[in-house]
Amino acid sequence: MARPDTREQIIKAGMKCLQERGYNAVGVQDITETAGVPKGSFYNHFESKEALGAEIVARYGANSSRREILADRAIAPLERLRQHFQRLNRVFTDAKFERGCILGNFSAELSAQSDLIRHSLRDLYARWTEDLEDAIGEAQQAGTITSQAKPADIAAFLLDAYEGALLRARVERNNQPFDRFMQFAFGQILV
- Please give the residue that has the higher pLDDT: either 65 or 128: 128
- Residue range 6-46, CATH number: 1.10.10.60
The string of DSSP codes covering 101-132 is -HHHHHHHHHTTT-HHHHHHHHHHHHHHHHHH
Q: How far apart are CA 61 and CA 70, in angstroms?
A: 13
Mean pLDDT of 132-144: 97
Residue 2 identity: A
Percent of the chain with pLDDT over 90: 81
Q: How far apart are CA 30 and CA 4, in angstroms?
A: 19
Residue 2 binned pLDDT confidence (cut-offs 50, 70, 90):
very low
Q: Which CATH number fits domain 63-189: 3.30.465.10, 1.10.10.10, 3.30.565.10, 1.10.357.10?
A: 1.10.357.10
Q: List the domain boundaries for the chain.
A: 6-46, 63-189
Predicted confidence (pLDDT) at residue 1 exceeds the cutoff of 50: no
- Per-residue model confidence as pLDDT tens digits over 149-173: 999 999 999 999 999 999 999 899 9
- Per-residue model confidence as pLDDT tens digits over 64-112: 677 889 999 999 999 999 999 999 999 888 877 777 788 888 999 998 9
What pLDDT, on a 0 to 100 scale, did the predictor assign at position 94? 85
What pLDDT, on a 0 to 100 scale, did the predictor assign at position 3? 56
Percent of the chain with pLDDT over 70: 97
Mean pLDDT of 121-138: 95
The string of DSSP codes covering 88-101 is HHHHHHHTTT-S--
